[in-house]
Amino acid sequence: MTFFGLAAASDLQDAKKSQSSLERCKDLLFTVFGFPVGMFVVLLFWSIFAYDRELVYPATIDAFFPPWMNHAMHTFVFPILLVEILLQPHFYPKTKQAVTALSLVGVSYLSRIIWVFLSAGVWVYPLLKYFSGVGLVGFFIFNMATVTVLYVIGEKLNNKVW
């Protein structure tokens, strides 16, 4: 939501201020977080869901969250991200800076997931209860590597289109 608010405010700015701090902030949010993390959520969620939905979105949730809400969170993100990258050029920061920012956000998110488990004794994502400690570390490293690859794909796609 923050990205789309910044995007709207940026679009309302004078066209001569194309590299304003608002524009750079918007690009940073989209390129480093919006595209790679959004694509990651879509790809990982539907891959696991196709294998065994109970691991990520148990059928009992359907009583509280109808299917359209599931698709709003885990499907509709994909075309929105593709349309954004095809219709609007974005400035990508250096890969090292982007990976550092992604890592900070990733570690913060994982810390929150682990904190919930340690506090409540339940994993936010049912899949995680099947991993050993080493398996969790491997899974988290795999996820970070995937998000990094998606960042690079987004940059290459942006450069190819623009």
pLDDT at position 8: 66
The structure tokens listed for 87 are 């219709």
The stretches of the chain forming alpha helices (DSSP H) are 2-11, 21-28, 35-52, 67-74, 77-87, 95-120, 133-161
Other Cβ atoms less than 10 A from the Cβ of 158: the count is 21
Residue 41 CB coordination number (10 Å): 15
d(CA 57, CA 70): 9
pLDDT tens per residue, range 67-114: 899 999 899 999 999 999 999 899 999 989 999 999 999 999 999 999
116 vs 110: CA distance, rounded Å: 10
pLDDT in tens, 121-155: 999 998 999 999 999 999 999 999 999 999 999 99
C-alpha distances (whole Å) from 100 to each of 26, 69, 81, 103, 138 are 18, 32, 22, 5, 19
Whether pLDDT at 15 is above 60: no
Calpha distance 92→89 (Å, rounded):
10
Instruction: Assess whether pLDDT exceeds 70 at residue 36.
Output: yes
Alpha carbons 106 and 141: distance in angstroms, whole number: 10
pLDDT tier for residue 49 given thresholds of 50, 70 and 90:
very high
Domain ranges of the chain: 2-161
Distance CA 18, CA 33 (A): 21
pLDDT for 81 equals 94
